[in-house]
Structures are given as C-alpha cells and as structure tokens.
Amino acid sequence: APAAGPQDLLIAVKAESDAAAGEALARVDALLQVRRTGGEQDFRPRSLASALKMLPEARWVLISVPGRHAAGVAEEALDHGRNVFLYSDNVPIESEVALKRKARERGLLVLGPDCGTAVIGGMRFGFANRVRRGPVGLIGASGTGLQAVMSHLHTLGSGISQAIGTGGRDLAAEVGGITALQALDLLRRDPETEVIVLISKPPAREVAARLLGLARSAGKPVVVYFLGAPLPGRRIGNLRFAASLSEAAELAIQIPAVPGVPGVPVSGHLRGLFSGGTLAQEVLLGLSAVLPPESYQILDLGDDEYTVGRLHPMIDQDLRLRLLRQEAADPQISLILLDVVLGEGSHADPAGELAPAIEEARSRRPELEVAALVIGTDEDPQDLRHQIETLERAGARVFRTAGELVDFATQRLPESEESGKPVPLEPVRGAINVGLESFYDSLVAQGTPAVQVEWKPPAGGNETLAAILARMKSA
Amino acid sequence: APAAGPQDLLIAVKAESDAAAGEALARVDALLQVRRTGGEQDFRPRSLASALKMLPEARWVLISVPGRHAAGVAEEALDHGRNVFLYSDNVPIESEVALKRKARERGLLVLGPDCGTAVIGGMRFGFANRVRRGPVGLIGASGTGLQAVMSHLHTLGSGISQAIGTGGRDLAAEVGGITALQALDLLRRDPETEVIVLISKPPAREVAARLLGLARSAGKPVVVYFLGAPLPGRRIGNLRFAASLSEAAELAIQIPAVPGVPGVPVSGHLRGLFSGGTLAQEVLLGLSAVLPPESYQILDLGDDEYTVGRLHPMIDQDLRLRLLRQEAADPQISLILLDVVLGEGSHADPAGELAPAIEEARSRRPELEVAALVIGTDEDPQDLRHQIETLERAGARVFRTAGELVDFATQRLPESEESGKPVPLEPVRGAINVGLESFYDSLVAQGTPAVQVEWKPPAGGNETLAAILARMKSA
C-alpha cells in the first residue's frame, strides 16, 4: 500500500476480539462503499490526492475553483494521470497551453478552461441536457452551443455518444486546438460514434485547416459549424458545413453514415490560375478550409495587378499560358487548377488554346494533374461539349462547379502530423469534484461514484505562503 | 426637328425629279434601317450625342473606354436620359458615387464601373452566357459570379429574367448599394421575375442590412450568397442563404415562389438578454443581417463583464430579472428576447422566475412583446413542457431554435426609406457602344439595334485641352 500522507484518514481499530475488529472493518468498508456509489458523502477529503485514494477508479476530475487556483489543481490531476473537466474561467492562456501539452503527452484530456458542458460515456459534467445515447459525437468550443445541438438531436429523435467541450480558446492560434484534435481522434476511434459534429466560434485560420484536415480523413461524416465564419461550401468530401446550431443537428441525422472519398496523402503543392475573380475566391475559400496555407496558391489573373496594359484573361490567355508552362515545369507543383469561362464576349476557343500546353506539361511530368472548372451553357458560342472534350483529351479533369473542383483538389491531403498519445476509450467509473457543490450533486444524481473535495485556497488564500508551500512540495 | 450639331450627318438631296428624290430618300432610310437592325454599321458617329440621334430608341449605353475617361462618357449618357453599362475599371469611387446618385434621381441605372456582365430584357451586355429566359432575376456585384449562377440555372433546366451587374464596389459603404437597391426594387416589380438571386462579395455591414431589409419585404423569395461572409442561418422569412454559387442556383429553383410572412413595419427597438453566449451570438448574427444596427442590442449576461462576483446567469437570474424590468419600462423598447437553457446544472425553474416579471411588464405595456428561445429536452429536470407553458401563460412567444426566434424578430421591419425614382420596366430596343468592338459585335450578333461610337479621347488625349473643352461645354 502507498505510504499515508498528511491529508489521509488513518483508521486504527483496537478491538476486544477478532470478530469485533472484523465487524468494525466491514463497517468502514461499507461506509466507503456508500461514498463511492454516490450516497451522501459524509467524509470530505481536503485534497485531490486523498480523494483519489478514496476513489482510485475515478478517471475524471471536475474543477470549478476560482481561476487563479484552477491551473494548479488541474496540473495535480494530470500528474495523477486523470482527465480534467475545467469549468473555471480566468485561467491564463499560458497555463491552458501548458496543461494541454502535458495532457496530450500523457494521453489525457483537459476540457476547458471555461468549459461548461461535457457528456463523457453518458455522464454529464457541468451544464448538460438529459438526452438519449445515440450515434452522434459532439465536439464544441462553446457550452450552450453543445447544449443546443444535443437538445435538438434529442428532440429530433436521435442521441449522442459523447459531447466533448474544449473551452472557448482551444481553437485560438496559441492553443492550436490541442483538445479539439484529441477529441476528433477519440471520436473517430469510438465505435459508438457514427457521425461527428464539430461546433465552435471561428477558429484561427491555421487551426481550422489542421482540424478540418484531420476531420477530412476521419473515415466518418463530420458536420462542421463555425459560428460567424464564412462557409467554404456545403460539402467537402466527408465534411458537411452547417449554417446554424439547429442545422448542424439536422445534418447529423440526415446524412448517411457513409464517408465521402477518403483523403489521400499527396506531396506537392497546388496552383490555381484563374480568369474569374469570384470563381478564384470561391475555390480559395474551399481550399483554405482544409489545406495547410503553404500548400496552395490561387492567382486571380483578372485582378488589376495583372491586367494593366493587357486585355482581361477571359479574352486574352497569353499570360495564363505562360504561367501554366512555368508552374507545370516546377517539380514542387503537383496540381494545377484552371477556370474556363465561356459565353458572349469571352475568347472564342479557350480550351483549344489551353489544351496543347496541358498536354505538353503532362507528357513531361505525367504525375502532374490538371483540373478545370468550366462555366458555360450548351448554347454558348464556344460549344460547351467541344470545350470539355478538348480539355479532357489533353488530360485535364473537368468539373462544373467550384464545389466539385474543391472536393477533388482536397482529396489530396498533406501527411497527417503526430497528434500525441491517443486518449484511451474508457467508461467513466467515477469522478472527483473540486469546486461548485451543484456539480457534485449532479454526479450523485446520475449515479456516478463521486467524491467532493473540501477545497480551500492553498494557505487559506495567502498567496505568499501558498508559493512557499508549492516550492516545498516540488522540492 | 432638333437643330443639327457639328457631329451630325447632313444629307442633302438634289434630284432631277421628285421621284428620283423620293427614291434617294428611301435609300437613305433603308441604310439607316440597316444600322438600326444590327447589320454592319458603315457610318460611325464620333460622339455619343450623334449616336443617340441615329438610334434615339437606344435606352442603354455600353462604356468600356479607359477608366479616366469613362465617368465623363457615363455622365453624358445619364444627361441624355440613358442607362449605363460601365465595363471600364479604374474609375474613382467618388465618380461612381456621383454617377449613381444622379442615376437614382432620374430613375436610371449605372451598372458598374467594372461591371462585366448584364442581361437586360434578354439582351446580353459584356461577358454573358446564352441562357434561356426564365423566372430567376439575378443581381450581382461580381461578373463571373453572375455567369456561374446563370449557367448553372440553365444547366438545371431553368432560366433568367434579368441579370443586373452592379460593379464590385456598389455594396461598399461609400456607394451604399445604390444600384443593388434599385435593381432589387426593379426585380420585385418585374412580373417575369418570380425568384431573386443576390450575389456579392461581403457588403459593408450597414449596406447589407439595408439591402436585405428591402429584400425582406420584396414579396418574392430572395436567395442570398455573400461569398466569404458568415451565413446568418439558412432562412430568414423570404430570404434563403446559400453557401456557394451553385447552391444559389439550386435554391432558386427548389424553393416554391411563395414568399414567407412579409415584414411588418414596427417602430421601437429590440433588446436581447441572453444567458448563453453562443445563443446570443447566433441570434445577433441573424438580426444584424437584416435589421439596422441602431435598432437592436443583444447582451450576453454570461460574459465576463457581467459575471465578476456573480454566478452564471444560467444559475442565478437576478441581474437578468433586474435588466428585464428596466428594459420593459423603456417606451423605446418594443421587443425583448430571452433564452432559457434547461438541463443538469442549470437553475431549477428559470421560467418560474421570469414569468412574473414578463407578466407585470406586459400588463403595464401591452404593446411590448417578449420572445423566448427554450433549449432543453423532455427528460431535463426542469420539465420542458411546464417551462414552455409558464412562459406562454405569462405572454411570451416561445421558440425552439435561434433561427425561428430570428425569423419572428425580423418580421418587424423598420419603415423603408425613400429609394429614389423607380427605374421603369422597359424592353431593350437598342444600345450604343462606346469602347471595345467585341461588345458591339455581340450586340449585333444578338440582333439588337446598335451603334458603335468611333470614340477618341477628348482633345486627342491631351488632358489640359480636354479640361478647357469641358469648361467651355459646361459654360
């Protein structure tokens, strides 16, 4: 048995007979049992360490102490190998980063700080609605957002497998989405989860791309709702983009649990040489949602900087042809995107001009791919069918909407990065609560074995003394 | 007959007999007829004024001369009471504003500057695809965007009534969406247009709200796609929000041509007192899309600034109740929005606390409306049905999704503003082209009576001399 610490309860039994001693010990065991199964807890440990000795199977620690003390308690929980539900706010972002990095190394989760809601293995932490279990796994950087989605899913007759809150800052650049990435990895391995829903305020751009890049290869449909961010389309591979919390829930139950074509890791970069500004922007919006920023570049050749002293590229393709040859010769480039806009006023045969350049490039570098977005109708003067056939004969893939082009271009994913030690899938057998009583009451009401820590600020709130104690402890 | 000017062609016939004179005049008429019906134009006027004398029924002037000369030609066209399709770019924004204000006063349109595409009464100006006529009216601040939507509509078997390009800066704050507002007004009056599609880069916030406020009362479904802007939901009244160009086309033909509940002008302001941050944001996103900024305010009472030394408003509603009484007493406020989030951890009876305050407020000011968004499930400890009934009995309208709440709140529109003289609905009987030959060729190919102006920069491009001439002309 581990050595007893100063916070431990030592029970010494001095009995008149072995039978009496056995009876007394049985009574002690029964009392401890009551604590573990969630009856009224009459003994309250004053430290996390002793709480964990009382309920060693507790894999989760709920923390809602004032912000300046929260990181310390959370770190202690991680050091004990426990996951953390961190309701406290006003935790410095540096502490959040340090905690989450430590958690990632150890295959643990830190939900929060400022995480209001989580449902793990059917157990509700913090604010959470009572919803039936079901096939939808939620990840949310927003508490009431998660609640709105889980409630709506329930109302629609479905249910959730897990709801993993990450805290509102998790997708900021500093934190880099550590928890959301772990949660995504967890849910893609979770056999109970058939569809994943990911909701958040707009993430930092590079974090969003990393997260959706991973989601793109989850092997399950992922519904994404970034409140207040532009949608990169309605669908990219297995990703569906929602425009509201309620729509996120609706999409999750409408779409069949069959993922789109999985992403394939491809090295090399992507170049777009566009004549239509809006088309360039729409494609860029889609690519930037899932690809790392350094892997693509889209040029709008109709932009002022390219048209000084030159006709519009929808009329005159000379510059585009020159750039096409140049990019095609660059061994770094593995995919070139083009648009071809037909109709009144446009070049009389754009495909006829592009085809020889495409053919030549592909004969020199057969691994190079070319994809073209063709905008036009069967009544346009350039002959739509002929234009498409000319491009296809030259070896280009032809698409008719920006969404389809983006879908194709983003099947080529960057190699996925190391995401730390995987978080094990395990049932919730108990939890320790440090802070708000109501969270403890809620655990007990749900039948979760739980222990409430009688927490006091270190050194009675005296910060100087607390610092000295912390130094002594770590020495 | 008007007096002949120095640019006019005078034809004097000196004949040996009346019959010969009559024959000669008939021949002149026939030649003029050829010009008007689009055969090769063998005489080219050197000024807009004389071109308009040759083809007085031309209501449109297409201008694609270099940017620094374009505003002058456009102003001349407006002064002659003609609409302008202004392809030229590099026109200063002050000139754009001045031209568009003048046009609005006179019930004329200025499409552009930098407008690549328009289809007016079946006639294609600039770059445009050949698509069948149909029930969809397009407004676009983007050329290839319009082309992509019209082509996709055609591919899907539908067609367009009009496609009105506005130029890329029309929805900037400086220009204020003058052309887009006129176009919207035109299309809502156009009997051929059953559904309106509005596409643009993200407009200035106040312009977007003004535009969508007008669209909200168009009496026809309006599909909106602001490329790169967040969607305020999928639907607000008769507005549908698309996430791509192709989806804009798809929505336009999928939705029945039946508008939602029309907006009703209501005076007074709107206040939201929210406990859930994400819910507050989602509602705010919806409201800000269609309401003028000064008409609403949404408070997130769970935000740090309100929770210092106070429990979260999902647990403790004291502050909210105080604010509710305060706002309800303000005669400026005509609608109050609330959210009620049920579930584990939340207040045991939030509706029970809110109801007396709502009832009291409405008994004092019966015109005051209160609407609540209730998030929760039938398994939540607060009893969902009872919560809803309590709120409804107190006189509140209850909604279950943010979208429905926004839909309700935005049926109350501000009084619509004066939008200038309406642009008349009239067929295109001819056009004058000043600039790119290919635009003239395209008009001729379409069978539109057209005249090409043999345009030269004023004073042969000598700017000083041109300025002197302009002063003499206006003197």
Tokens 């894999």, residue located: A59
Instruction: Report the run of H or E that residue A375 belongs to, with start and end.
Output: strand A369-375
Average pLDDT (B452-465) is 79
Per-state percent for chain A, helix, strand, coil, to nearest 5: 40, 20, 40
Assess whether pLDDT exceeds 50 at residue A1: no
Q: Which of B91, B279, B386, B306 has the alpha carbon at shortest distance from A152?
A: B279
Taking the CA of residue A372 and the nearest CA in chain B, the distance in Å comes to: 14
A370 C-beta neighbours (distance < 10 Å), count: 22
Which residues touch B12 (CB under 8 Å, ≥6 apart)?
Answer: none
* pLDDT higher at A413 or B57: B57
3-state secondary structure of B340: strand
Average pLDDT (B144-160) is 96
Confidence tier at B293 by pLDDT (50, 70, 90): confident
DSSP assignment of B2-41: PPP-TTPPP-----SSHHHHHHHHHHHHHHHHHHHHTS--
Assess whether pLDDT exceeds 90 at residue B39: no
pLDDT at B428: 87
Average pLDDT (B412-418) is 61
Average pLDDT (A53-82) is 96
pLDDT at A74: 98
Assess whether pLDDT exceeds 90 at residue B30: no
Confidence tier at B440 by pLDDT (50, 70, 90): very high
CA distance B339 to B296: 16
With beta carbons less than 8 A apart as the criterion, state whether A274 and A286 touch: no
- Considering only A48-62, A136-150, A442-456, B36-50, which range has the smallest mean pLDDT? B36-50
**Which candidate from A233, A246, A377 shows the least CB-CB separation from B155?**
A377
- Residues of A whose CB is below 8 A from B233: 243-244, 247
Confidence tier at A327 by pLDDT (50, 70, 90): very high
With beta carbons less than 8 A apart as the criterion, state whether B447 and A350 touch: no
Q: Which of A452-466, B33-47, B50-64 has the highest mean pLDDT?
A: B50-64
Q: What angle do CA B324, B327, B328 make, to 5 degrees?
A: 80
Counting one residue from chain A and one from chain B, the pairs whose CB atoms sit within 8 A come to 244
Assess whether pLDDT exceeds 80 at residue B103: yes
CA distance B363 to B394: 10
Q: Which of B167, B118, B149, B73 has the alpha carbon at shortest distance from B446?
A: B118
pLDDT at A305: 84
Average pLDDT (B202-207) is 90
Q: Which of A155, A137, A288, A282 has the alpha carbon at shortest distance from A210?
A: A288
With beta carbons less than 8 A apart as the criterion, state whether A225 and A302 touch: no
* pLDDT higher at B107 or A266: B107
CA distance B68 to B72: 8
**Which candidate from B144, B341, B345 shows the least CB-CB separation from A278?**
B144
3-state secondary structure of A341: strand
What one-character DSSP code corresponds to residue A416? P
Q: Which of A201-205, A456-460, B192-196 has the highest mean pLDDT?
A: B192-196
Look up the CATH architecture of domain B268-413: 3-Layer(aba) Sandwich (3.40)
Which residues touch A343 (CB under 8 Å, ≥6 apart)?
Answer: A375, A376, A377, A380, A381, A382, B124, B127, B128, B129, B130, B147, B151
Is A148 within 8 Å of B402 when comparing Cβ atoms?
A: yes
> Does A300 touch chain B if contact means CB atoms closer than 8 Å?
no
pLDDT mean across residues, chain A = 89
Label residue A223 exposed, middle or buried (CB < 10 Å: 0-12, 13-18, 19+): buried
Is A130 within 8 Å of B379 when comparing Cβ atoms?
A: yes
Assess whether pLDDT exceeds 70 at residue B38: no
What is the tens place of the pLDDT at every residue in A254-267? 976 555 555 566 67
> Does B92 touch chain A if contact means CB atoms closer than 8 Å?
no
- Residues of B whose CB is below 8 A from A379: 129-132, 154
Please report the residues numbered 218 through 277 in chain B whose beta carbons come closer than 8 angstroms to any beta carbon of chain A: 227-234, 241, 243-247, 275-277
Assess whether pLDDT exceeds 90 at residue B19: no
Please report the residues numbered 169 through 228 in chain B whose beta carbons come closer than 8 angstroms to any beta carbon of chain A: 199, 201-202, 227-228
Report which residue type is found at A349: D
> Does A288 touch chain B if contact means CB atoms closer than 8 Å?
no
Longest dimension (CA), chain A: 108
> Does B305 touch chain A if contact means CB atoms closer than 8 Å?
no
With beta carbons less than 8 A apart as the criterion, state whether B297 and B214 touch: no
Confidence tier at B310 by pLDDT (50, 70, 90): confident
A463 C-beta neighbours (distance < 10 Å), count: 12
CA distance A229 to B315: 30
Confidence tier at B14 by pLDDT (50, 70, 90): confident
Assess whether pLDDT exceeds 90 at residue B231: yes
Give the percent of chain B with pLDDT over 70. Answer: 87
A284 C-beta neighbours (distance < 10 Å), count: 21
pLDDT at B259: 56
What is the tens place of the pLDDT at every residue in A124-168? 999 999 999 999 999 998 789 999 999 999 999 999 999 999 999
Chain B's closest residue to A241, CA to CA, is: B243
**Which candidate from B129, B375, B445 shows the least CB-CB separation from A380?**
B129
Q: What angle do CA B279, B284, B288 make, to 5 degrees?
A: 160
Strand B235-236 to B239-241 pairing: antiparallel
Residue range(s) of every CATH 3.40.50.261 domain in chain A: 60-254, 268-413
Assess whether pLDDT exceeds 70 at residue B262: no
> What phi-psi label fits residue A345: left (phi over 0), alpha (psi between -120 and 50 degrees) or beta?
left
With beta carbons less than 8 A apart as the criterion, state whether A117 and A147 touch: yes
pLDDT at B261: 57
* pLDDT higher at A263 or B290: B290
pLDDT at B471: 67
Assess whether pLDDT exceeds 50 at residue B469: yes
3-state secondary structure of B304: helix
Q: Which of B160-164, B215-219, B425-429 has the highest mean pLDDT?
A: B160-164
Confidence tier at B34 by pLDDT (50, 70, 90): very low
Assess whether pLDDT exceeds 60 at residue B55: yes
Is B147 within 8 Å of A315 when comparing Cβ atoms?
A: no
CA distance B247 to B232: 16
A133 C-beta neighbours (distance < 10 Å), count: 14
What is the tens place of the pLDDT at every residue in A251-306? 999 976 555 555 566 678 999 999 999 999 999 999 999 888 889 999 999 987 88
Taking the CA of residue B438 and the nearest CA in chain A, the distance in Å comes to: 6
pLDDT at A168: 93
Give the percent of chain B with pLDDT over 90. Answer: 71
A427 C-beta neighbours (distance < 10 Å), count: 10
CA distance B22 to B30: 12
- Considering only A239-243, B378-382, B398-402, B415-419, which range has the smallest mean pLDDT? B415-419
Taking the CA of residue A302 and the nearest CA in chain B, the distance in Å comes to: 10
pLDDT at B17: 78
* pLDDT higher at B130 or A37: B130
With beta carbons less than 8 A apart as the criterion, state whether B404 and B411 touch: no
pLDDT at A34: 46
Q: Which fold has domain A60-254?
A: Rossmann fold (3.40.50)
Instruction: Report the run of H or E that residue A297 belongs to, with start and end.
Output: strand A296-300
Report the DSSP beta bridge partners of residue A382: none
pLDDT mean across residues, chain B = 89
Q: Which of A341, A285, A306 has the alpha carbon at shortest distance from B202?
A: A285
Assess whether pLDDT exceeds 50 at residue A174: yes
Assess whether pLDDT exceeds 50 at residue A201: yes
What is the tens place of the pLDDT at every residue in A17-31? 777 777 777 666 655
